[in-house]
Amino acid sequence: MVNYREILRLRSLDYSQRQVAASAHCSRDTVSTVYKLADLHGLVWPLPDDLSNQSIRDLFYPSRAESKRRMPDCAAMFQEMAKPGVTLTLLWAEYCEQCHSEQLIPLKYTQFCDYYRKYVNTTKATMRIKRKPGEMMEVDWAGKTLAVYDRITGEPTTAYVFVAVLPCSLYAYVEAFPSMESVNWITAHINAFQYFGGVTRILVPDNLKTGVISHTRKEIILNRTYSEMAEHYGTCIIPARPARPKDKPNAEGSVGVVTTWVIAALRNYKAFTFKELNDAIQEKLGQLNQEPFQKKNGSRLTAFLDEEKTFLLPLPASPYELAVWSTATIQPDYLIRVDKNKYSVPYILIGYTVDIRTNSKTIEVFFQGSRVASHVRRHEVLKDPIILPEHMPENHRRFLAYNSDTFKDWAINVGTATLVVVQAFLSAGKVEQQGYKSCSRLMKLADKYSALRIEDACNRALAYTPEPSIKTIETILKTGQDKVKLDTKAPKSDSAYAFTRGAEYFGGKRND
């Protein structure tokens, strides 16, 4: 708004219009117009104290004073700004459309935003312009550390402090861990989600190796376990750019606040377990979240409960179960090793590299993104590997299935002679297992020559000896002797060609 009072004051001091325009930050045409309107309405300095610039403008421009301007509904705007994708520009465009439909004059965009900012700063704890409720959670490790002491030796163990903050309400979560390893990093996120009672749509971590493997201009490669955890909770990981702390300013700022409220406050506290230390941290954290804001109404807790909690995504039915990913190249025995036990995978993957996902209950094997094997994890040390039959080649599976009952059942289906031969094989050695190889060879010959020929060959072999060998049967099959009909009758002698010797030849007497 034009500062009419200042223009008229400087006019009374005989400044030039150029000087008045420069001092009042307006154009010389505006100064000239104000002079004319002041002369027209008889306004001379000094002016009454209750005559404001707004009153002077209404006096100079009565048409503007009579026009009706629609005031924005800032409370409704505040609720709309909480919704995803809603901006002040969009709300102002909708406000202008509504004013035009009602034949009212809308406020300019700058005035529109000024009214909203004034409402937010005087009545609410947060301002939804850059950060929406439930949209983002920023996480980081604090630079300062605490310590946990040994009860006997008194030696300290470094405790690293994890910090998570919701940028909209600045509601924070803090927890101490013995290291910054991936297991603790994932556990900290799970506990933070439980503490907040919901999940944000975006997760903004730093570029530490436990979370982000590589972050370049072209691509972002996340830690496999970290990415799986985010998928379980339905959130999205968008790491801050390297060396860009302004990408997560609230977490960086909260680290400083936590350093004062928690770490510095517990500098002389001696905890002997991490549970004791985290209990003390939770007490200080509660004080931090309930501390009133200095320049706004409310506190982190009230802002979270009133404005942000309802916008968080719901927690899944069960918390994420921590899993460890690893890789392995499948060896000829088609086994993988987890801890001190071995588990089978499909034999067709021999020579390929697979991904192994291990948690407290199961072991899963993935090849090119597809799960190819799953085992129940055994924590005790086993003597033999765990092998599933479907993972084995056909010949290995058949070998494991070999036993006396298997061979006898097969022989019964082939024929009586085959059953006799199989029983002979099994009883030939000191133990039955010595005959397994011959029985197995006989089964393979049946696949090659047919079951009918095996039965005939066994009949032929039993005609030669009551204890035939597998080599005899194989020779019979190769030479085709099983195809020749076996003659069980004694051959008749032909006197014309037979040579016979009488009793005289053997020293006896012939009876006429």
In this predicted model, what pLDDT tens digit does every residue of 346-404 receive, in sequence order?
Answer: 988 999 999 988 888 889 999 988 889 999 988 888 888 888 888 888 777 766 667 78
Asked if residues 267 and 258 have their Cβ atoms less than 8 Å apart, the reply is no
Asked if residues 65 and 56 have their Cβ atoms less than 8 Å apart, the reply is no
**pTM greater than the 0.95 cutoff:** no
Where do the CATH 3.30.420.10 domains begin and end in the chain? Answer: 136-311
Question: What is the predicted pLDDT for the residue at 339?
Answer: 84
Amino acid sitting at position 467 = E
Q: Cα separation of 210 and 233, whole Å?
A: 18
3-class DSSP string for 441-475: HHHHHHHHHCHHHHHHHHHHHHHHCCCCCHHHHHH
Q: Cα separation of 325 and 223, whole Å?
A: 9
Would you state the structure tokens that stand for residue 234, as one six-digit string?
Answer: 């339905």
- How sure is the predictor about 44, in pLDDT bands with cuts at 50, 70 and 90? confident
Task: Please confirm whether the linkage preceding 46 is cis (ω < 30° from 0).
Answer: yes
Containing 153, the helix (H) or strand (E) segment is none
CATH number at 136-311 = 3.30.420.10
Helix and strand numbers (H, E) in the chain are 19, 13
Measure CA 238 to chain center. 13
Parallel, antiparallel or unpaired: strands 171-177 and 202-204: unpaired
| Mean pLDDT (whole number) for 319-336 | 87
Supply angle C-alpha 196, 198, 201, rounded to 5: 115
Q: Which of 63-67, 163-167, 394-398 has the highest mean pLDDT?
A: 163-167
pLDDT, tens digit, 9 for 90 and up, residues 219-269: 677 778 888 888 899 998 888 776 655 555 655 666 677 777 788 888 888
Q: What is the mean pLDDT of the chain?
A: 82
Question: What is the predicted pLDDT for the residue at 506?
Answer: 58
Strands across the sheet containing 136-149:
171-177, 156-166, 136-149, 202-204, 236-237
Asked if residues 90 and 116 have their Cβ atoms less than 8 Å apart, the reply is no
- How sure is the predictor about 66, in pLDDT bands with cuts at 50, 70 and 90? very low
